[in-house]
Amino acid sequence: MTFKKILLIISGFICLILGGVGIILPLLPTTPLVLLAAICFSAANEKLNNWLSRSRLFGPYIENYRTGQGISKCRKIVSVVYLWIGLVTSMIVIQTTAIYIILSIVGIGVTIHILMIKTKKK
């Protein structure tokens, strides 16, 4: 195995872990990180690429991106709700005006982004 492939595999796992954390923490973008992991794995190792593409948790992200289907309405709603729960929780814990402003701007931007993504038809 070449150094480049090893580096791609390590990068893929780092992106995948960060994407997984992004499911819980709204400030980490899950979909772009999972897609980046898929790109790294597809260039480095077919088995890892197939494993990720068939993953129950991350497979739908990759498949919807590859086919251009978009995100289901339910997933959009859940994403926005979790986003705002995380942001409001952070605001309550930190209680700083600058954090309120920054997190509100981030929340509005991410909400707009999620709502602008194509809605997957059933």
The string of pLDDT tens digits covering residues 8-49 is: 999 999 999 998 888 887 667 787 788 889 999 999 999 999
Does this model's pTM top 0.75?
no
To the nearest 10 degrees (0 to 180), the angle between helices 59-67 and 46-53 is 90
Specify the length of the chain in residues: 122
DSSP string across the chain: --HHHHHHHHHHHHHHHHHHHHHHSTTS-HHHHHHHHHHHHHHH-HHHHHHHHT-TTTHHHHHHHHHT--B-HHHHHHHHHHHHHHHHHHHHHH--HHHHHHHHHHHHHHHHHHHHSPBPP-
% of the chain with per-residue pLDDT over 70 = 98
More confident of the two residues 52 and 61: 52
122 has pLDDT over 70: no
51 has pLDDT over 90: yes
65 has pLDDT over 90: no
In this prediction, residue 74 has a pLDDT band, given cuts at 50, 70 and 90, of confident
Residue 55: its pLDDT value, please?
Answer: 92
